[in-house]
Amino acid sequence: MTGMEGLRDFWQRYRRNKGAIVGLAVLVLVLATALLGPTLFPGNPWDMAGAPFQKPFDPEFPLGTDTLGRDILMGIVHGARVSLLIGFVATFAAVSLGVILGSVAGYYGGLVDDLLMRFTEFFQTIPSFVFAIVLVAIFTPSIASIVAAIAIVSWPPVARLVRGEFLTLRTREFVQASVVLGRSSRHIIFVEILPNAVSPIIVAGSLMVATAILIESSLSFLGLGDPNMMSWGFMIGSARTVLRTAWWMSFFPGLAILLTVLALNLVGEGLNDALNPRLTREGR
Amino acid sequence: MPTKRFLTPLALSAMLLLLPGAPADAQQPQRGGTLSSIISPEPPTLMIGISQTTPTAIVAGKIYESLLRYSTDLKPMPGLAKSWEISADGRTYTFRLHENVKWHDGQPFTAEDVVFTATKYLIEVHPRSRPIMQRAESVTAPDRNTVVFQLKEPFAPFIMAWEPSTAPIVPKHIYDGTNYRNNPANQTPIGTGPFKLQEWVRGSHIHLVRNDEYWQPGKPYLDAIYYRVLPDAGARVVAMETGQTHLSAFADIETFEVPRLKALPHLELTTKGYEYLAQMVWLDFNLRNPPMNDRRFRQAVYYAMDRDFIRDRIWFGLGKIATGPIHSSIPHYDANVPKYPLDLKKSEQLLDEMGLKRGADGVRVRVTLDALPYGDIYKRLAEYTKQALARVGIEVTIRTSDVAGWGDRVRNWDYEMTHQVLSQLGHPALGVSRLYITSNIRKGVLFSNVNGYTNPRIDELFGKAAVAVEPAEIQAMYSEIQRILVEDVPVAWLLELEFPTFINKQFRNVITSGIGVRDNFADVHMVRQ
Amino acid sequence: MQRLQFIAQRVVKGIVVLLGIIILNFLLIRMAPGDPASVMAGEAGAADEVFMSQLRKEFGLDRPLHEQLAVYVKNVVTLDLGYSYRQQRPVADLLLERVPATLLLTGTAFLLSLVVGVLLGILAASRVGQWSDSLVTVIALFFYATPIFWVGLMGILLFSVTLGWLPSFGMYTVGGKLTGAAFALDVLHHLILPAITLALFHMAVYARMTRASMLEMRDQDFVRTAHAKGLREGRIVRIHVLRNAILPVITMAGVKAGYLIGGSIVVETVFAWPGIGRLAFETVMQRDYNLLLGVFILTSFMVIAVNLITDIIYSFVDPRIELGQ
């Protein structure tokens, strides 16, 4: 790996993956909805604006209304912000934790590595979704407890990944040179090695956002969502019992999750292709 | 419905079945058939004495019996007792028991079992029955089939305390001298009821079979009952639609599915059978904290709640708008009380008067609302409450938790507002007074007077009404209680709950009393088609 | 011999991890508001001090926490998982009742996803750029991105409600009094929807991994050499590419065992499947501490066992790789 090359090169490689372009377009759309949506569609998504159980493709409520007469479109627009927020913040927390533990373990090796890896193993052994449920249930469902729970069950793979990178990178000459020059460990970890390990972390992170959104929706489905936040998972969770009479209530938010997660996955693959040219696949 | 007190149970149940739309069953009921019912959630145990949950009461109500049952207008009907007398001074209750009743293990049932249950068992294990049984000065069995309760003072509601979940009669020969909670017999319940436990496959189903030795000759008609554990609401609807199950009750079927299921030709809907429980849902204010301690705030909240919306949109038309603390199916209900129709102007005016002005963001005050952990419908209620109060400038933050978390907050008074739902158990003295009297403000106890309401006049009236004997006098006191409480709004009563019971039309006589699906099903029979 | 030593080492490690899980979760669950007594009170619609204190005393919850922990760990070491507070029965019995259902569901889903996923991956990799490759890729992406409960709900909508082909809940026809082959068929009939629902997501994972891994291997030197030597394509794929490409998939499959159990909570809820996953969810809500810890012990044990088995299989597939690395 030769490190980051020019942005143009990066874009050239990214562009070769057609799926990644589509994914990026969808993701930009979702991000725009999250950022601008509440301005373009002002109002409160919780307002019981119309009659309940209104079918979609109606001029007033294009995506229909839910069991209490809330506008599904409003919910999806406002929910984009919550779902993405949970996805990104949880991922950021998980990646941070994973990077710190993984780099320390990989850099120092020996006993520290052994201890940290046992610790990681420990978290990988507990079935993660069960653990997430317990955490959210214990700390009462709120956006903070959901983010924390997702982060706590998601960091181990990152830690392992970073550790692996560090194990190979620390034997490289440029690292050895820094050691000889008497640089501090912190400097070597964060300035010398980490930037070289950043590509796989970014790829893993982009996929983790997708997983985080899926976990949040599953928690909400089981009734462990934040009751004050209109998220897509909440919309499906509260509509799942009416699935048979009112498909649209869970269909549209489900579609929103599907598209967003799909986009994140495609972007992740594109990033992978662009950042790890070694692995570029053919036939795209 | 003018029901005479000494009708035989069969005649009475036949009468009650003449609901509009239900075809009258001319033939003699035939033996045979298997009823498959939904049960959700799965009961923790079938030993009805140590668990008062509804699922336990439903299943174990076929296995255990009590001295009485209650009609849909809450008149006592014979159970294990064939007749009963109350002395003129209201202190002596004499029950005459059916003869030739046997426990499921073949041992004879006698008055000694009743004495044991009332004086030892229930007082030890049953939180709801304990205070009632403690009112007895002595319980004696002058002969094998007679039990006499001598009360310390008159207590008219005593006659309402004898349905299976409130006072299940348990076998003395199995429980006397043992640890009631740990007794291994709790796994293999022994009752006197028309059905016996055959098998319980956890997570899947409970299989009850006919008790061939049942004391009512020829009954029960059914060979077996299966209770299917179906945790998913969607699966429950499918099961009723496809005929895989024949009976649903309480909240098994979500309210919005009711209109659709009602239209199906093979299903019959009734909302009868919940009169004894008489559940009511209300918005509870913790009166220790401002602004809830100000009556004007509570009235403002009450005026801001559109209870027609709650009934029509959240409960889909099921239920009755509550007028005050006593459920309309419960004795001594009085509709003549102040009313709180939806009136946003009045609501805002009251809040203005209190000095709670709207801030720049339009918010006057912020409060937290703990949602009830009993299912989706209460989440919807919390969401509605949040929106309704936002209209008058009260910003509500909803907090959800599970039963344990919610219960801990509420019983330790660590909440601002919450919804509550509770049964009134056949009589105001059994199910209503506990929520408003000062002596029942007990930290750490759920379903006590948790919001801390205290009013000497209310204490006095509830105290006197419980021990009074003269009916007109009693009614006057309960009427005054209702007027005072409704003016004071210690809580905002929202809705008297009605539950949809769906019955597959192959089955008859399913709901024959005010205890509904929790009754023993001795009279249920199947019609061949 | 070396293999046995390795296994013994892993077992010891597994036990240490398990012990850590027990202690962590024991302490964690006690931090939750409310206890089993308050749940029972909350459900009963009636409670008083006597009732609560009776329950706490009986459950041993009135004793200091460290004492409770010590007693619990001591019992677990002697393979006694304690008593469920709520159901008044030994935890081990309750778990054993549920294990077969979960093993059947997750086992079927695991095999199904692995076999179909790997096959689809090979198919896609051997036809890179063709429509069948694109189709597999799109399908895999689709199921990878769809919430699992959503797939289940849609499956019910289509196959149970609309078409009426498959039962929508339960594990077998209750009261059907079926035996032998008829019973097995009945269970199979009930198994189809939940197993496929659970399998689809993981199938997508394996298909994507196999494809990527195969393509990567194809460019490796030893494969090029094989080509240069003039070996036939089919043989190359079988002997060289597939064998090496499958390794990361197996590792992933081992890691995913825990996820399969997590997913089974949702699937078991949607399909009313009487397994461990649903039990886990219910016990959290009911604060049935002993039963919940029992679920954790059992599921963690399953994950450790699966990981160990994966490692052993790994050593057979690729003998060059030393155990314990």
Secondary structure in 3-state letters for A191-254 = HHHHHHHHHHHHHHHHHHHHHHHHHHHHHHHCCCCCCCCCCHHHHHHHHHHHCCCCHHHHHHHH
What are B262's two structure tokens? 């009602």
Beta strands in B152-246 (DSSP E): 195-201, 205-210, 224-229
Side chain identity at C242, as an amino acid letter?
A: L
| Cα separation, C209 vs B124, whole angstroms | 62
- Option in B384, B398, B401 nearest A68 (CB): B384
Domain with residue A119: its CATH number is 1.10.3720.10
Residue A57, Cβ neighbours under 10 Å: how many? 9
Asked if B380 lies within 8 A of A244 by C-beta distance, the reply is no
pLDDT averaged over every residue in chain C: 81
Nearest-5° Cα angle at A258, A253 to A262: 150
| Cα separation, A236 vs C187, whole angstroms | 29
The answer to whether residue A169 scores a pLDDT higher than 90 is no
Asked if B401 lies within 8 A of C33 by C-beta distance, the reply is yes
- Option in C18, C157, C258 nearest A127 (CB): C258
- Option in B47, B130, B231 nearest C278 (CB): B231
Q: Are B168 and C86 in contact (CB under 8 A)?
A: no
ipTM: 0.82
- Predicted pLDDT of residue C24: 86
**Before B490, cis peptide (omega within 30)?**
no
- Predicted pLDDT of residue B20: 41
The dihedral sign for the CA sequence B138, B142, B144, B146: negative
Asked if A130 lies within 8 A of C146 by C-beta distance, the reply is no
Nearest alpha-carbon partner for B382 in C39, A63, A240, A226: A226
N-term to C-term CA, chain C:
17
- Predicted pLDDT of residue B343: 96
Nearest CA in chain C to A264: C145
Q: Does B383 touch chain A (CB under 8 A)?
A: yes
Asked if B401 lies within 8 A of A68 by C-beta distance, the reply is no
The answer to whether residue C234 scores a pLDDT higher than 80 is no
Q: Are C157 and A243 in contact (CB under 8 A)?
A: yes
Size of interface B-C (CB pairs under 8 A): 162
Nearest CA in chain B to A140: B401
Domain range holding A259? 3-283
CA atoms within 13 A on the CB side of C54: 17
In angstroms, what separates the C-alpha of B514 from chain A's closest C-alpha? 29
Q: Which residues of C touch A124 (CB under 8 A)?
A: 255, 258, 303
pTM here?
0.85
- Option in B314, B380, B397 nearest A228 (CB): B397
Side chain identity at B241, as an amino acid letter?
A: E
In angstroms, what separates the C-alpha of A221 from chain B's closest C-alpha? 11
Q: Does B41 touch chain A (CB under 8 A)?
A: no
- Option in B203, B229, B403 nearest C285 (CB): B403
Nearest CA in chain A to C213: A279
| Cα separation, B402 vs C35, whole angstroms | 11
| Cα separation, B292 vs A201, whole angstroms | 52
| Cα separation, B223 vs B521, whole angstroms | 11
Q: Does B414 touch chain A (CB under 8 A)?
A: no
- Predicted pLDDT of residue B506: 94
Residue B315, Cβ neighbours under 10 Å: how many? 22
Q: What is the pLDDT of residues A222-275, one digit of tens each?
A: 888 888 888 888 888 788 777 777 888 888 998 899 999 999 988 988 888 787
Size of interface A-B (CB pairs under 8 A): 65
- Predicted pLDDT of residue C238: 66
Which residues, 6+ apart, have CB-to-CB distance to B348 below 8 Å? B300, B392, B393
Q: What is the CA radius of gyration of chain C?
A: 24
Q: Are B79 and B68 in contact (CB under 8 A)?
A: yes
- Predicted pLDDT of residue C318: 62
In angstroms, what separates the C-alpha of C179 from chain A's closest C-alpha? 34
Q: Are A226 and A176 in contact (CB under 8 A)?
A: no
Chain C interface test: which of A115, A117, A126 (most C C-beta within 10 Å)? A126
Pairing of strands B92-97, B205-210: unpaired
Concatenated DSSP letters of chain A: ------HHHHHHHHHH-HHHHHHHHHHHHHHHHHHHHHHHS-S-TT---S-TT--SS-SSSTT-B-TT--BHHHHHHHHHHHHHHHHHHHHHHHHHHHHHHHHHHHHH-HHHHHHHHHHHHHHHHS-HHHHHHHHHHHT-S-HHHHHHHHHHHHHHHHHHHHHHHHHHHTTSHHHHHHHHTT--HHHIIIIIIHHHHHHHHHHHHHHHHHHHHHHHHHHHHTT-S-TTS--HHHHHHHHGGGTTT-HHHHHHHHHHHHHHHHHHHHHHHHHHHHH-GGGPPS--
* Window from A168-172, C103-107, C217-221 with minimum mean pLDDT: C217-221
- Predicted pLDDT of residue C281: 83
Tokens 């964060």 found at = A190
| Cα separation, B305 vs B90, whole angstroms | 43
Side chain identity at A180, as an amino acid letter?
A: V
Nearest alpha-carbon partner for B258 in B233, B226, B280, B275: B233
Q: What is the pLDDT of residues A104-140, one digit of tens each?
A: 998 888 899 988 988 888 888 888 888 898 899 888 8
Residues A128, A134, A135, A141, Cα dihedral to 10°: 120
Residues 84-143 (A) with a CB less than 8 A from some CB of B: 137, 140-142
Q: What is the pLDDT of residues B204-261, one digit of tens each?
A: 899 999 999 999 999 999 999 999 998 777 778 888 988 889 999 998 998 888 988 9
Helix-strand-coil split of chain B, %, nearest 5: 30, 20, 50
* Window from A22-26, A63-67, A175-179, B398-402 with minimum mean pLDDT: A175-179
Tokens 């499947």 found at = C273
Nearest-5° Cα angle at A67, A63 to A69: 65
Residue C319 — very low, low, confident or very high, per pLDDT cuts 50/70/90? Answer: low
| Cα separation, C323 vs B50, whole angstroms | 55
What are A169's two structure tokens? 């990178």
In this complex, the chains that touch A, judged by 3 or more CB pairs closer than 8 A, are: B, C
Residue A59, Cβ neighbours under 10 Å: how many? 5
Concatenated DSSP letters of C278-309: HHHHHHHHHT-HHHHHHHHHHHHHHHHHHHHH
Q: Are B70 and B276 in contact (CB under 8 A)?
A: yes
How many domains are contained in chain A? 1
The answer to whether residue C236 scores a pLDDT higher than 60 is yes
- Predicted pLDDT of residue A4: 53
CA A241 to chain centre: 27
Which residues, 6+ apart, have CB-to-CB distance to B389 below 8 Å? B301, B304, B305, B395, B396
Which residues, 6+ apart, have CB-to-CB distance to C42 below 8 Å? B373, B403, B404, B406, B407, B446, C34
Asked if B127 lies within 8 A of C44 by C-beta distance, the reply is yes
Chain B interface test: which of A44, A54, A66, A68 (most B C-beta within 10 Å)? A68
Nearest alpha-carbon partner for B312 in A52, C243, A230, A192: A52
CA atoms within 13 A on the CB side of A150: 32
Q: Does A227 touch chain B (CB under 8 A)?
A: yes
* Window from B21-25, B142-146, C65-69, C206-210 with minimum mean pLDDT: B21-25
Q: A interface toward C at CB cutoff 8 Å?
A: 19, 118, 121-122, 124-130, 132-135, 137-138, 140, 157, 210, 214, 217-218, 221-222, 233, 236, 240, 243-244, 247, 250, 254, 257-259, 261-262, 265-266, 279, 281-284
Tokens 């849902």 found at = B281
Nearest-5° Cα angle at B433, B429 to B434: 110
Chain A interface test: which of C153, C279, C286, C307 (most A C-beta within 10 Å)? C153
Q: Are B285 and B368 in contact (CB under 8 A)?
A: no
Q: Are B316 and A53 in contact (CB under 8 A)?
A: no
Residue C4, Cβ neighbours under 10 Å: how many? 8
More confident residue, B237 or A25: A25
Asked if C25 lies within 8 A of A126 by C-beta distance, the reply is yes
Q: Which residues of B touch C169 (CB under 8 A)?
A: 230, 232, 235, 238-239
Q: Which residues of C touch B128 (CB under 8 A)?
A: 44-46
Residue C52 parent element (H or E) = helix C49-59
Q: What is the pLDDT of residues C114-157, one digit of tens each?
A: 899 989 988 888 887 788 888 888 888 888 888 888 888 888 87
In angstroms, what separates the C-alpha of C169 from chain B's closest C-alpha? 6
Which residues, 6+ apart, have CB-to-CB distance to B362 below 8 Å? B393
- Predicted pLDDT of residue B12: 40
- Predicted pLDDT of residue B4: 35
Which ranges in C127-242 belong to alpha helices (H)?
Answer: 131-145, 148-155, 180-218, 221-228, 233-235
- Option in C38, C175, C270 nearest B34 (CB): C175
Q: Are B114 and B103 in contact (CB under 8 A)?
A: no
In order along chain B (529 residues), what is the average pLDDT of each group of 10 residues?
A: 38 41 59 93 90 92 96 94 94 96 96 96 91 95 96 94 94 94 90 95 92 94 94 82 92 88 94 94 96 96 96 91 95 95 96 94 95 88 94 94 86 94 92 93 89 96 93 95 96 96 95 94 89
Burial of B176 (C-beta count, 10 Å sphere; 0-12/13-18/19+)? middle
Asked if B202 lies within 8 A of C98 by C-beta distance, the reply is yes
Asked if B256 lies within 8 A of A245 by C-beta distance, the reply is yes
Asked if B379 lies within 8 A of A67 by C-beta distance, the reply is no
pLDDT averaged over every residue in chain A: 85
Q: What is the pLDDT of residues C266-304, one digit of tens each?
A: 888 888 888 888 888 888 878 888 888 898 888 888 888
In this complex, the chains that touch B, judged by 3 or more CB pairs closer than 8 A, are: A, C
What are B133's two structure tokens? 């049984």
Asked if C145 lies within 8 A of A265 by C-beta distance, the reply is yes
Asked if B238 lies within 8 A of C160 by C-beta distance, the reply is yes
The answer to whether residue C257 scores a pLDDT higher than 90 is no
What are A78's two structure tokens? 């406002």
Nearest-5° Cα angle at C261, C286 to C244: 165
Asked if A48 lies within 8 A of B397 by C-beta distance, the reply is no
In angstroms, what separates the C-alpha of B100 from chain A's closest C-alpha? 48
